[in-house]
Amino acid sequence: MSISHFLQYKLAFAALLLFLNLPELLGIQANAESKVHIVYMGRRQHDDVELATSAHHQILTSVLGSQEAARDSIIYSYKHGFSGFAAMLTKPQAKRIAELPDVVHVVPNHLYKLHTTRSWDYLGLSTSSPPTNLLHQANMGDGVIIGVLDTGIWPESEAFNDKGLGPIPSRWKGHCQSGTKYDPAKACNRKLIGAKYFLKGFETELGRPAIKDPDFLNYELASPRDRDGHGTHTSSTAGGSFAPNASYYGLAYGTVRGGAPKARIAMYKVCWNWLQGGCAFSDIMMAIDEAIHDGVDILSLSIGSEIPHYADVDMRNGIALASFHAVLKGITVVCSGGNEGPYPQTVENTSPWILTVAASSIDRSFPTLITLGNNWTFAGQSLYTGKETGFISIAHPESSDLKDKRFCNNLNTNDTWAAGKVVLCFLGKGDELDLPSTRQVVQYVGGLGLIVAKNPTRTLYYFASDFPSIGVSIDVGAQLLDYIRYSRKPQVKLSPTQTHVGKPVSTHIASFSSRGPNSVAPAILKPDIAAPGVDILAAIPASETSYEFESGTSMAAPHVSGIVALLKSLHPHWSPAAIKSALVTTAWPTDPHSGEPIVAEGNPNKIADPFDFGGGVVNANGAKDPGLVYDMGTFDYILYLCSMGYNNSAISVLIDQAASCPIKRPSILDVNLPSLTVPSLRRTVTIRRTVTNVGPVNSKYKAIIEPPQGITIKVKPETLIFNSKTKKISFTLTISTTHKYTTDYYFGSLIWTDGVHGARIPISVRTEFPELVG
């Protein structure tokens, strides 16, 4: 979810509770015990989709007793990328279906949540760059199709114009679906080539028919059209066309475009901003199934569930399940990592076949000058675009009762002392998301401005453009507080915001960006990579500006999706795993401009490590020529599933071919990922990896090891020699510890270099000894 939408959802959820207490408003007359269940049957068994649908109806008929009951029960039939269906079932009916031999599992429907200009230049993909730049070599992604699962799209935005684009790719099988205020003949073109919406699963979760509810139209539209803004923002970031004269009230003025401006976009609307809002499991499954059929090359999802604690192909995880089938079809799946940072083990979308993205900042800031009555000046960060205020009174609410008014969230509408003044307050722990309410309170009581002292983060999503609201560091806040306390008549002057770009602004990992280690499979590093996700300017539905700043891993994921589109155009035969490897092994582990360490924002800040950013910040131009890749195919995923404890029959149904796990359970450490994580090193372990040469045919690579503290790593062989006959080589890493006690994680890396290329994988190791009892 982009964080600016979080409060809307909280308020809408309160409304939902009221509605649920009014049974006469419920429009769906289903049995109170019935609920949508997803019946998952693995890979499709019929090339004829009608036969697949018929088989689904037969299963339902056998349990429900009649064809009519089956027709009334089913809401979706999954028949393109995998087999299964979603239907209204009671618990006993779901249990009976789960016991049938062709059924892998049955799970109740549930809701997922959204994660919500300069960035492409920052990433080295400027239109003024030389012809050797990835943007130009890939012809700006022409012909590649990006499928986006989100809140819909605003087709009239200039970001989706089709100027200069050729015909729609002939392999495209999708279409644009009509709906409320959405005419495909006018809305779709050679840029926006597909648009569909999926509402049935969301309706059943709410227990009411949205389309028939007058209140629904106040917040949503039963069509692919976007009323929320999240989907328009993410899709224009990934593949938006050139749109000149874009800005947010004059800030960040310039030409906005997506990462692959000639790529085509297909929108699959699965997320709804009504009542508590969300994205239904069954709708997501159906959308991915349709996208596989339609012919997308990339799936971009800025969506996640709760912090996961289940197996990756677990029946509760619709994104992991459906994306597995997409990846087997050669479709790269890019997902946001979540906005639950800076706390550890919060990263979402943790499957090894998914490319999971953290959020970083870019080299742009919006300084606002704060001038005190004694002529001292400080710089804050803001999006204020109004006039300079002139000198006005500044005040701070000292502690006056049990509620400490120093903290911003404790201000209320009784604080009339703030009238005519600029208010200084401090953010307490966990208060950041409620800041818009604080600003509204200050405005309500007649305040003329707000200065918020907080931990140093770059995020500006909560600062208004029309009201002077400015963020400063805790240190600056303390100096302002001293001035207020010891001045006879404290005054302040607030200037409008400016836009600064350039190297002096270093890269940070955003405080909200979810962190590893992986809570599902600790030996699988997540996130995989970081990309710009702080104060990203992109298109929104029609408004005063048509463009808006948003922050979140929701904004980071489409940056990677756009780069994947360029790589797919340049290297159409690369697998999703090869693309992921190219991105991870060439990422920047330090600031791309200064070489200084990347900082992970938090409380306190720290030097970023692989649990913050995976391989590092995405390096688009490096990824086009990585030299070596850590590739994976169906066999590798089978070994992963075996290592996670899935049996032969479950895996065979999942992949629709005979699968046999080794007699000895494989080690998850040997999954051929472009990273290496050992969560519990007790004795010496040997780990295997295989690299594929995608660089010059005749190449010689040498290993460079930077071991984690107290860890010894030996690589064998230390040199890899490739030629026309040898394109793949396996090697082993023998890892041992010198620690005598259990430690936290320490980090290092392995680089294979031929003097030109440097394929780097992050290494994370924790020594752990069992506790002695008694």
- Catalytic positions: 150, 230, 554
- Tell me which H or E stretch contains 355: strand 355-360
Q: Which of 334, 365, 359, 362 is nearest to 555 (CA)?
A: 359
Q: Which of 204, 273, 340, 401 is nearest to 5 (CA)?
A: 273
Q: Regarding beta strands 355-360 and 332-336, do their DSSP bridges make them parallel or antiparallel, or are they unpaired?
A: parallel
Instruction: Spell out where 463-555 has E strands.
Output: 469-473, 491-494, 500-501, 508-509, 529-532, 536-539, 547-550
Rg (C-alpha) for the chain, rounded Å, is: 27
- Cα–Cα distance between 136 and 131 in angstroms, integer? 6
User: In what order do the strands lie in the sheet containing 303-304?
Assistant: 271-272, 278-280, 111-114, 303-304
Q: Which residue has the tokens 């007058």?
A: 214
Cα distances from 191 to residues 4, 169, 273, 467, 639, in angstroms, run: 28, 11, 25, 37, 40
Task: Collect all residues with Cβ–Cβ distance below 8 Å to 142 and sequence separation of at least 6.
Answer: 165, 166, 262, 263, 569
Task: Give the CA angle between residues 406, 408, 413 to the nearest 5°.
Answer: 100
- The length of the chain is 774
Q: Which of 388, 387, 383, 386 is nearest to 251 (CA)?
A: 383
Task: Collect all residues with Cβ–Cβ distance below 8 Å to 375 and sequence separation of at least 6.
Answer: none
Q: What are phi and psi of 208, to 5 degrees?
A: -155, 145
Q: Regarding beta strands 547-550 and 251-256, do their DSSP bridges make them parallel or antiparallel, or are they unpaired?
A: unpaired
Q: Return the biggest CA–CA distance within the chain.
A: 84
